[in-house]
A and B are shown apart, each in its own frame.
Chain A
Amino acid sequence: MSPKSGDAIRPSSRHGPRIGVFVCHCGHNIAGTVDVEKVAEALARYPGVVYSTHYDYMCSDPGQELVKRAIKEHRLTGVVVAACSPSMHEPTFRTAGEEAGLNPYLVEIANIREHCSWVHEAGPATTDKAIRITRAAVEKVRGNHPLEPLQIGHAEKCLVIGGGIAGIQAALDVAEAGYEVLLVEKSPTIGGHMAQLSETFPTLDCSQCILTPKMVEAARHPRIRLLTYSEVEEVSGFLGNYHVRIRKKPTYVDPEKCNLCGDCEEVCPVRVPNEFDRGLSERGAIYIPFPQAVPSSYTLDEEACLGLEPLRCSECARVCEVGAIDYDMQEEIIEEDVGAIIVATGFELYPKEEMAEYGAGRIPDVIDGLEFERILSASGPTGGEVRRPSDGKVPKEVVFIQCSGSRDPELHKPYCSKICCMYTAKHALLYRHLVPDGRAYVFYIDIRAGGKGYEEFVARAMEEDRILYLRGKVAKVFREGDKVVVWGVDTLTGKRVEVKADLVVLAQAIVPSPGVTELAQRLHMSCLDEHGFLKEAHPKLRPLETLAGGVFIAGAAQAPKDIPDAVAQASGAAAKAIALLSAPALVHPPEVAIVDEELCSGCGICAPQCPYSAITVEEVAEVNEVLCEGCGACAAACPSGAMSLRNLTDEQVLAMVRAALKEAAEVTSG
């Protein structure tokens, strides 16, 4: 089919813009309400337009051919297709333009279907609106510049911060995809909190048994460099091109030589609380957190040691038969270029000492959930027998208090810590298995067991293991002889409840790992949420990314999470990192902010407007185009008119506004 009558070809504008307008009928969809012929005619008279036509279906092959032919024949410098929403065919016509030798950014859509023909009745007002919309699109094209997508190179390594299950999983996934990984863990071993757990809900498999093979795999992986006892000290650069500085503290023990005999710890005269057992056992100044620690080596804790400089004891070196101990070991500084960063710094428990109302900190038999995990653990301080801290007795009445410090906006944390309902059910159930004649009570606000097999797990604890669930808050916990008395109210029966317990276990709120605030600052991710957890770039659509390009998040560092969620998120973050690392170059849309250096006064108003920290201001503002997402907040704020968006400048918008408002009679061709 050839173009319809009503084609207008004007030979003018040899030097100025030569814009072509193509009005689509979309069958009856547009032509049924809009007088398309009139639109094409009106646009033919519009300044800068040298060719204007209309056609049945512009998006069809002949329609696209018509556009391409016109571009060539009329040497068009810009194209406006007045048709359906740009979300439908903008890519179609941009590609068609490109095929005819026109830069795709010089093709614009005038949305006269969704925004016009479909929402109004047939008549002159509707046709008039279609003309206005199309004229505005012509003004947009007139101001557009040909653009190319931005391309930048990137480093091919990945940094993973935090060696809990999330960090381990992310590191393994990235390494398996063929990329080098630096796995940085601040403690002497990887494993995180999962290493401290006894058995895991909802399947009750032994935590260490499923974790340690992964730890070993990470340590042995040819592409993972494990940096334990290390912290990230400095990060500079941007998306794909970060430079990181890591400080590795000396352990004073050569892991290659240490054969885990343990002679050193035996002779060490120092005894300090063992963090791994949450202080329920003691360790020497030279120690291994737990037998399966990775790397498998003892560590000398400089702060606990009697003295290295000058050397005051040196008993350990004396007994070490393999000569693994080296008091002259120095700290190491590691500098690397990485393309992507995954932050998996995990969580801590809200300190139980904050719970004065439950006597925590004062009463030795009021403990937190992780302490109870250690007590339940076969390799724990009590060898897997449930014995309470004060006198080592087997407790016969145990009270578990859920939401301890959670969901309490007045005194503690307002949020739900998500995993406590589940691990409390697990605690009570494991306790009943280990102490069959014991009684377990759980105080709860409500039960949140949304997960595969979770509801069934809690039901099993209630029914099979006859755990007494009491709905209500605990009012008071106090000591009476060797008992811990718990006063509460069962809100379902309205009755007061008193339990003379032997042990009270608090399901403490989950809080972010300490130090994450400083780490976030070093990573230029100013964004932590109001509780200090890492904040995602978008709560729904970009949950694994942060506002710092190329920095991803995984695990409980983002929010309270159980192991399956932490692992899933870690693999997701790894996939994001792999996508970045495997790209030949990072391609970025070119419609970003630009600064007119002549106009910029260097006032710096724009920089804090940018959610992506893309702007630096020294003499004048400078935009890192790769970080800029093109939101335009900076341009709107700039008092000098110096900041603008490519292909959406003030001049363009103002011209579009005018084109949209002018009466037909006011428009004269020029």
Chain B
Amino acid sequence: MAEFEPKIVAFLCRWCAYAGADLAGTSRLKYPPNVVPIRVPCSGRVEPAWVVDALRQGADGVLIGGCHPGDCHYVSGNYKARRRVYLLKKILPELGIEPDRVRLEWVSASEGKRFAEVVADFVAELRALGPIGAGSDASRVTRDEESTALRGG
């Protein structure tokens, strides 16, 4: 049987992690092709609801890439992201999703190597976790309940 290939959606801050991924490319570093990046202005733009939606739509993991603490182009977006991800990870088990499927990583524009490593590591971790929703039924929770739980800061 072919090895399980996890699918990852990555929300990458345009100022840091997106540019870090560019640098991984310019440096011709190799990492597994399991990740599809989506460019966002800042990690603080990422809504927990997007993350949950991605996981429901078939993603096995979601990566959020932001600027290192103190480096956010908009001063504090990365701290906002950190708080939201922290809260989201507390809620995920109730939706039947392992919190480890969501990763927030700080990757600067000069850290191409780090970006490649983060992806490789995440892919390995998700391979070990296997496909999503093995045990519980994630679709039990209604969208309304979900948005009450996920929105608001």
Spell out A's residues near B (CB within 8 Å). 85-87, 111, 113-116, 118-121, 125-126, 128-129, 132-133, 136, 537-539, 547, 591, 605, 609, 611, 629-633, 635-639, 641, 645, 648, 650, 653-654, 656-658, 660-662
CB pair B152 A633 closer than 8 Å: no
Is B93 in the interface zone, CB < 8 Å from A?
no
User: Which one, B35-43, B97-105, B134-142, is touching chain A?
Assistant: B35-43
The 3 closest A-B pairs by CB, nearest first: A114-B25, A632-B45, A631-B74
CB pair A605 B153 closer than 8 Å: yes
Is B107 in the interface zone, CB < 8 Å from A?
no
CB pair B57 A114 closer than 8 Å: no
Which residue of B has the minimal Cβ distance to A606?
B153
Which residue of B has the minimal Cβ distance to A603?
B152
Is B63 in the interface zone, CB < 8 Å from A?
no
Tell which of B33, B47, B153 touches A650, judged by Cβ atoms closer than 8 Å: B47
Which residue of B has the minimal Cβ distance to A133?
B36
Cβ of A547: which chain B residues have Cβ within 8 Å of it?
75
Q: Nearest Cβ distance between residue B48 and chain A, in whole angstroms?
A: 8
Cβ of A114: which chain B residues have Cβ within 8 Å of it?
21-26
CB pair B36 A635 closer than 8 Å: no
Tell which of B5, B38, B45, B74 touches A656, judged by Cβ atoms closer than 8 Å: B38
Q: Nearest Cβ distance between residue A583 and chain B, in whole angstroms?
A: 22
Q: Nearest Cβ distance between residue A588 and chain B, in whole angstroms?
A: 14
CB pair B41 A632 closer than 8 Å: yes
Cβ of B9: which chain A residues have Cβ within 8 Å of it?
657, 660-661
Tell which of B37, B38, B58, B147 touches A653, judged by Cβ atoms closer than 8 Å: B38
Which residue of B has the minimal Cβ distance to A130?
B33
Cβ of A629: which chain B residues have Cβ within 8 Å of it?
74
CB pair B25 A115 closer than 8 Å: yes
Tell me, in angstroms, the Cα distance from A631 to B67 when the chains sit together: 13
CB pair B37 A115 closer than 8 Å: yes
Q: Nearest Cβ distance between residue B24 and chain A, in whole angstroms?
A: 6
CB pair A636 B28 closer than 8 Å: no
Interface positions of B from 56 to 98, Cβ below 8 Å from A: 57-59, 70, 73-77, 80, 84
Tell me, in angstroms, the Cα distance from A126 to B152 when the chains sit together: 38
Q: Nearest Cβ distance between residue B26 and chain A, in whole angstroms?
A: 6
Cβ of A86: which chain B residues have Cβ within 8 Å of it?
39
Is B124 in the interface zone, CB < 8 Å from A?
no
Tell me, in angstroms, the Cα distance from A116 to B54 when the chains sit together: 20
Q: Can you list 25 contacts pairing A with B, beta carbon distance less than 8 Å? A: A87-B22, A114-B21, A114-B23, A115-B25, A118-B26, A119-B25, A119-B29, A119-B116, A120-B31, A125-B5, A128-B33, A537-B75, A591-B41, A631-B45, A631-B74, A632-B41, A633-B42, A636-B45, A637-B152, A639-B147, A639-B151, A641-B147, A660-B9, A661-B36, A661-B58
Q: Nearest Cβ distance between residue B13 and chain A, in whole angstroms?
A: 10
Cβ of A662: which chain B residues have Cβ within 8 Å of it?
58
Residue of A133, A636, A637 with most chain B CB atoms under a 10 A cut-off: A636
Q: Nearest Cβ distance between residue B100 and chain A, in whole angstroms?
A: 19
Q: Nearest Cβ distance between residue B123 and chain A, in whole angstroms?
A: 12
Cβ of B153: which chain A residues have Cβ within 8 Å of it?
605, 609, 637, 639
Known contacts A657-B57, A658-B57, A661-B7: A115-B22 contact under CB 8 Å = yes
CB pair A630 B41 closer than 8 Å: yes
CB pair A118 B25 closer than 8 Å: yes
CB pair B28 A118 closer than 8 Å: yes
Total residue contacts A-B, CB cutoff 8 A: 137
Q: Nearest Cβ distance between residue B79 and chain A, in whole angstroms?
A: 10
CB pair B74 A611 closer than 8 Å: yes
Tell me, in angstroms, the Cα distance from A605 to B26 when the chains sit together: 41
Known contacts A631-B77, A661-B54: A638-B44 contact under CB 8 Å = no
Cβ of A115: which chain B residues have Cβ within 8 Å of it?
21-22, 25, 37
Tell which of A87, A120, A658 touches B30, judged by Cβ atoms closer than 8 Å: A120
CB pair B24 A119 closer than 8 Å: yes
Q: Nearest Cβ distance between residue B55 and chain A, in whole angstroms?
A: 10
Cβ of B35: which chain A residues have Cβ within 8 Å of it?
129
Is B4 in the interface zone, CB < 8 Å from A?
no
Q: Nearest Cβ distance between residue B12 and chain A, in whole angstroms?
A: 9
CB pair B74 A132 closer than 8 Å: no
Known contacts A633-B45, A636-B45: A653-B36 contact under CB 8 Å = no
Q: Nearest Cβ distance between residue B128 and chain A, in whole angstroms?
A: 19
Cβ of A650: which chain B residues have Cβ within 8 Å of it?
47, 49-50
Tell me, in angstroms, the Cα distance from A538 to B72 when the chains sit together: 9
Tell me, in angstroms, the Cα distance from A638 to B57 when the chains sit together: 23
Is B16 in the interface zone, CB < 8 Å from A?
no
Tell me, in angstroms, the Cα distance from A111 to B21 when the chains sit together: 10
Tell me, in angstroms, the Cα distance from A118 to B42 when the chains sit together: 25
Residue of B28, B33, B58, B84 with most chain A CB atoms under a 10 A cut-off: B33
Is B126 in the interface zone, CB < 8 Å from A?
no
Cβ of A660: which chain B residues have Cβ within 8 Å of it?
9, 36, 38
Which residue of B has the minimal Cβ distance to A542?
B73
Tell which of B21, B41, B58, B151 touches A638, judged by Cβ atoms closer than 8 Å: B151
Cβ of B25: which chain A residues have Cβ within 8 Å of it?
85, 113-116, 118-119
Cβ of A632: which chain B residues have Cβ within 8 Å of it?
40-42, 44-45, 77
Known contacts A547-B75, A661-B54: A636-B44 contact under CB 8 Å = yes
Q: Nearest Cβ distance between residue A43 and chain B, in whole angstroms?
A: 15
Tell which of A116, A121, A631, A639 touches B44, judged by Cβ atoms closer than 8 Å: A631
Tell me, in angstroms, the Cα distance from A648 to B40 when the chains sit together: 8
Which residue of B has the minimal Cβ distance to A535?
B75
CB pair A136 B33 closer than 8 Å: no
Which residue of A has the minimal Cβ distance to B151?
A639
Cβ of B80: which chain A residues have Cβ within 8 Å of it?
609, 633, 636-637
Tell me, in angstroms, the Cα distance from A633 to B73 when the chains sit together: 12
Tell me, in angstroms, the Cα distance from A539 to B70 when the chains sit together: 9
CB pair B37 A111 closer than 8 Å: yes
Tell me, in angstroms, the Cα distance from A547 to B76 when the chains sit together: 12
CB pair B57 A120 closer than 8 Å: no
CB pair B74 A657 closer than 8 Å: no
Cβ of A605: which chain B residues have Cβ within 8 Å of it?
152-153
Q: Nearest Cβ distance between residue A521 and chain B, in whole angstroms?
A: 18
Tell me, in angstroms, the Cα distance from A540 to B38 when the chains sit together: 27
Tell me, in angstroms, the Cα distance from A455 to B91 when the chains sit together: 58
Tell me, in angstroms, the Cα distance from A240 to B39 when the chains sit together: 31
CB pair A633 B74 closer than 8 Å: yes
Cβ of B22: which chain A residues have Cβ within 8 Å of it?
85, 87, 111, 114-115
Known contacts A609-B80, A660-B9: A654-B53 contact under CB 8 Å = yes
Q: Nearest Cβ distance between residue A196 and chain B, in whole angstroms?
A: 36
Known contacts A115-B21, A119-B24: A657-B50 contact under CB 8 Å = yes
Q: Nearest Cβ distance between residue B6 and chain A, in whole angstroms?
A: 11
Tell me, in angstroms, the Cα distance from A524 to B132 when the chains sit together: 48
CB pair A657 B38 closer than 8 Å: yes
Q: Nearest Cβ distance between residue B146 and chain A, in whole angstroms?
A: 12
Tell me, in angstroms, the Cα distance from A637 to B31 when the chains sit together: 33
Which residue of B has the minimal Cβ distance to A660?
B36
CB pair A648 B45 closer than 8 Å: yes
CB pair B75 A538 closer than 8 Å: yes
